[in-house]
Amino acid sequence: MLAEVRSFDDPQQHAGSILGWNQIYDQLGRGSLSSELQQVSAERFQIFQESLDKRVVQQGCAPRGRLCIAMSLGTGRFPVVQGYEAGPHDIPLLRDGEEFLLHAPEGMSFFAINIDTARFARLAAVELSREQLTALRTLPQLTVSSAVVGRVRSRILPLFRALVRGDLALTSSSEALLEDRLLETFLDLFINARCDKRERRSNFAVSAYLVRRCQEIVRANADEPPSILALCEQLRVSRRTLQSSFQLVSSMRPVEYLRTLRLNAVRRRLMSTTAKAVNVGEVAAEQGFYHLSHFSARYRELFGESPSETRRADA
């Protein structure tokens, strides 16, 4: 079992340090990022807590063979996960390698848990009702009471924090104790979930879908990014609909949001290559930035440093 606490100033280094997750973090908030990751990882479960001081959009795939939940630890604006705003009583779910898209607001702090799907399925088969088993297979998130949220936190967080601080030894006994608590917690969540939102797709979900499709289209055409009109034409929506969708999901205009994703792609490429292998202008052009002075100004505005100051890979 591994337990650690790490700090970062780059979103992708943070993302790549969460064991078992294949994901990309794009920074949306301006300025130098500061984040912290606490994680405990074992053979059949994982818990991690993330704190990020800038808005970030997270995209990738959950670990295979795992059932995953997340829970916000903050107040104010909550994350948007799979097209649903995850409020204080909402528990987002990801299953067995499922693709995900999460919009994390500035200052977000949350913890996530994943457990072995096969072991939990054996327990769920004898503990849960037919309706609860359907929720396990299909719901994008669970809605529970304040009391259930409190039980989850009191059951898991003290033990988790004792492990990452080193107050509790990493032994087979502590690993077994924590796994049992996690399994009991997941069963408690499904037994007590309110399923009244099961089939409802809100305007928020439609807006999140449009934002995600725009991201996919722009990433597929990185060197020649499509215009907003071209995106509207391809998605068969009006400019007003696209504008309102981005504003609702990200609080940003479409042009600004999509340009920010391309700037993040430039930063990842710079940090993964040497200056000798590829220069800044070439990397910028790969993402459709051909006016270097404008590009450099936007880059500095977002990341708090110029492209030439970004760490490059060792030769």
Q: What is the 3-state secondary structure (H, E, C) of 177-217?
A: HHHHHHHHHHHHHHHHCECCCCCCCCHHHHHHHHHHHHHHH
- pLDDT per residue over 256-301, tens digit each? 999 999 999 999 999 999 999 999 999 999 999 999 999 999 999 9
* pLDDT recorded at residue 72: 85
The residues with which 85 forms a beta bridge, in sequence order, are 80
Tell me whether the CATH fold assigned to 2-192 matches the one assigned to 203-309: no
Spatial separation of the C-alpha atoms in residues 61 and 20, rounded to whole Å: 9
Q: Which fold has domain 2-192?
A: Jelly Rolls (2.60.120)
* pLDDT recorded at residue 195: 58
User: Other CB atoms closer than 10 Å to residue 135's CB: what's the count?
Assistant: 20
Q: Which fold has domain 203-309?
A: Arc Repressor Mutant, subunit A (1.10.10)
* pLDDT recorded at residue 198: 44
For residue 208, CA distances in Å to 179, 231, 241, 266 come to 34, 15, 12, 24
* pLDDT recorded at residue 200: 44
The residues with which 22 forms a beta bridge, in sequence order, are 61
Domain ranges of the chain: 2-192, 203-309
- Could you tell me if 187 and 119 are in contact, meaning their C-beta atoms sit under 8 angstroms apart? no
* pLDDT recorded at residue 249: 87
CA angle 243, 265, 66 (to 5 degrees): 90
Residue found by looking up tokens 């071209």 in the block: 230
Instruction: Name residues of the chain where pLDDT drops below 50.
Output: 197-200
Tell me, yes or no, if the pTM score tops 0.85: yes
